[in-house]
């Protein structure tokens, strides 16, 4: 097995090389995306932003951690509860009100005409050049 270039070694010129590159690329993308779901706070840009914002606003880290803990404890406390409205019976389709009747033809024409006139009225302002503040 004498390979002249590394491309031949890795199968770029071989017919199955393109398939292999696609498969390995897809696997790589899946691994990278799966890794993004569990970033530690030290390398997470969102946490950097939150830390910078809290430093500017003046929130202490203890306040931030206690607020996170309280929201987590609320979620844990709500786990055993039933969904809201689960004690009510399922509504029947017969209780749904009838669909409201739309505007009649004359009313639609008036609405369309008012929209057309409104559009034409705004065109008179769109041709004006508006100067900026320090521009004379």
Alpha-helical runs (H) found in 15-130: 17-36, 45-57, 61-78, 105-126
Model confidence pLDDT, tens digit, residues 53-98: 888 887 665 555 556 666 667 777 788 888 888 888 887 888 888 8
CA dist., res. 108 & res. 118, Å (int) = 15
Residue 12 has pLDDT above 60, yes or no: no
Residue 122 has pLDDT above 80, yes or no: no
């Amino acid at each position: 097995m004498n390979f002249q270039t590394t491309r031949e070694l890795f199968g770029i010129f071989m017919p199955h090389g393109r398939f292999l590159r696609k498969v390995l690329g897809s696997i790589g993308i899946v691994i990278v995306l799966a890794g993004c779901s569990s970033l530690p706070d030290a390398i997470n840009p969102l946490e950097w932003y939150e830390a910078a914002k809290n430093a500017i606003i003046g929130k202490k880290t203890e306040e931030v951690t206690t607020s996170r803990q309280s929201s987590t404890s609320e979620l844990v406390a709500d786990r055993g509860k039933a969904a809201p409205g689960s004690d009510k019976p399922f509504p029947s389709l017969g209780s749904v009100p009838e669909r409201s009747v739309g505007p009649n033809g004359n009313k639609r024409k008036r609405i369309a005409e008012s929209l057309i006139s409104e559009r034409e009225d705004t065109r008179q302002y769109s041709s004006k050049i508006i100067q900026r503040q320090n521009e004379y």
